[in-house]
Amino acid sequence: MRPPLFLADLGARAMRMLDPEDAHRLTVKAMARGFGPKPRIPVDPRLAVSVAGVDFPNPLGLAAGFDKNAEAVDAALDLGFGFAEIGAVTPRPQPGNPRPRVFRLVEDLAVINRYGFNNDGLEAVSARLEARRARGIVGANLGVNKDSKDPIADYVSGVRRLAGLVQFYTVNVSSPNTPGLRALQSRQALEQILRAVIAARDALSQRTAVFLKIAPDLADADKTDIADAARACGVDGLIISNTTIARPADLRSAYAGEKGGLSGAPLFAPSTALLGEFHKALGGSVPLIGVGGVSSARDAYKKILAGASLVQLYTALIYQGPSLVARILTELPDFLDADGFAHLREAVGSGAR
């Protein structure tokens, strides 16, 4: 029997007493075995949105990093998410970096992780996706193996193996925990990867959207290169942004100096500012997905005003529990009403006009 949301929130609070990685694994395993809540959330039809030919029932998605191995996809969708992104998945299984590699910055409502693309590999992940009853919108975050000699081939293999199993691919060139990965955001490297991935996608019978996930730590020249490459290659969307290697001076946690990618509340402002920059640079020609520090309906709405058609979250669930999904979906229409928008699509980017 699935627990009601308030009990699930208490469970999430109890999990914070455990080691962060152990809590993560236990949560995924519990959800995979049917112990996640399944709330009845009446979602306002004004929140439905179409992006890159995919019809999303609502704009709120579970970000990559939680369900790395596609073990709890349906349980995540049952929470009310409009879509869920699994991975990052690499062609071959890999253990990732040594433990400890996840740290809760409780005082900052943040997390630092240096997992390093630990996952079961394409074959195991694709087998799990094949075994589920196809429903809901699912995407796959594609990574490269740490010892890969051919990153392009790694991305292409993900496209081919997961064909027909997901509604979008995310090309991840922005994790800070795989050496050399962020160097692939240069214009030349990025265009080579995107052209190869899109060519592999186009060779398949079923068209699947291709998104690109970028880092928040970009120089102005990098931003120009990425925007130009996205336009030139015909990418279907940009996910802005991954975790940050920056460490704001006002972090209070004793773990603030740990290496890895910082997510959660401190990432909200810089990632939202970057979102607005890309909305302006691209003029709405490429759909944007906003992620980073979302912990309320107001945060999600600010991402939408900055240019996001879709919004993702993950870290805030650790601190607020699964009822956060229902709260955001219930409260978002109030923000549309307050600003006089008849539909969410009218609000996208309106804050930058």
3-state secondary structure of 74: helix
Other Cβ atoms within 10 Å of 202 Cβ, number: 12
Task: Say which DSSP state 312 is in.
Answer: E
Strand pairing category for 54-56 and 110-113: unpaired
299: amino acid identity, one letter = D
Per the annotation, the verdict on 175 as an active-site residue is: yes
CA atoms within 13 A on the CB side of 232: 14
- The closest of 291, 313, 285 to 303, measured between CA atoms, is 291
Distance CA 182, CA 172 (A): 9
- Of 126, 157, 174, 175, which residue is the catalytic one? 175
Q: Which two tokens stand for residue 174?
A: 């922005």
Residue 187 burial by Cβ neighbours in a 10 Å radius (0-12, 13-18, 19+): middle
Residues 6+ apart with CB under 8 A from 285: 231
Residue 180 burial by Cβ neighbours in a 10 Å radius (0-12, 13-18, 19+): exposed
Distance of CA 32 to the CA centre of its chain: 19
Contact 81, 329 (CB under 8 A): no
Buried b (16+ CB within 10 A) or exposed e, 94-106: bebbeeebbbbbe
Task: Say which DSSP state 343 is in.
Answer: S
Beta bridge partners of 85: 139
Find the largest Cα–Cα distance for the chain. Answer: 53
Other Cβ atoms within 10 Å of 36 Cβ, number: 21
The residues that are catalytic are: 175
